[in-house]
A and B are shown apart, each in its own frame.
Chain A
Amino acid sequence: ETVMTQSPATLSVSPGERATLSCMTSQSVGGHLAWYQQKPGQAPRLLIYGVSTRAPGIPARFSGGGSGTEFTLTISSLQSEDFGVYYCQQYNSSVTFGQGTKVDFK
């Protein structure tokens, strides 16, 4: 099984600041990596797939990057609606999720 490790567990950011979330995989996942945002009481929302392709309707301030076993999600200028938990997911070998990074506001 491909193990996903996200860091940090919690990220406290001020509105307007840049946020960078990390996701490491225990083996290479090629280009098969996605990011999701989940707010309390809601279903997850797909942000990024294929490492760097934004899902329809996702603002340009969200960007994904990386390769091999190290990936990042960057929110260029955090908005108030961006709080929540962010999960990375690999779908190269079966499907596994990271444990999540909680983004909250300073």
Chain B
Amino acid sequence: EEVLVESGGGVVRPGGSLRLSCVASRLTFHDYAMTWVRQVPGKGLEWVSDINWNGSRTAYSDSVKGRFTISRENAKNSLFLQMSGLRAEDTALYFCARHISWNIYDAFEIWGRGTMVTVSS
């Protein structure tokens, strides 16, 4: 079974930083773009960031631009999200997902189960 596993979530104070990771197993990682999507429990889906297959192109939602950085390490089948300047409104379950193609702005075919980030004093 193709699997994406997120980690790195936790409780952090406002203004703090956190680094999320997503590791792919039993699926092709390096040929596909990847994304982070978040969801406040009980609410809808919010796109956060995309990265293309080789990391040369990235995109961010306005709500996280300048505070979050997406990156990937294809040799380790890994995706990352460095989050800084965290705010209470960043509290959510963060999913990583693999695109259906190599480019950013696409549909998301394979999803992880998510890692919870809570920003609270």
Contact = CB atoms under 8 A, between A and B. Distances in A.
Interface in B14-50: 35, 37, 44-47, 50
B106 interface: yes
Interface in B94-117: 95, 97, 100, 105-109, 111-114
Contacts of B64: none
Contacts of B47: 89, 94-97
Tell me whether chain A's interface is mostly helix, strand or loop, or mixed: loop
Instruction: Name the prevailing secondary structure of the B interface residues.
Output: strand
Contacts of A55: 100, 107, 109
A46 B44 contact: no
Contacts of B108: 34, 36, 44, 46, 89
A91 B50 CA distance: 11
B59 interface: yes
A48 to B, nearest CB: 8
A61 interface: no
A28 interface: no
23 contacts: A36-B45, A43-B95, A44-B37, A44-B45, A44-B108, A44-B111, A45-B111, A46-B100, A49-B109, A55-B100, A89-B108, A91-B105, A91-B106, A91-B107, A94-B47, A94-B105, A95-B47, A95-B61, A97-B44, A97-B46, A97-B47, A98-B44, A99-B44
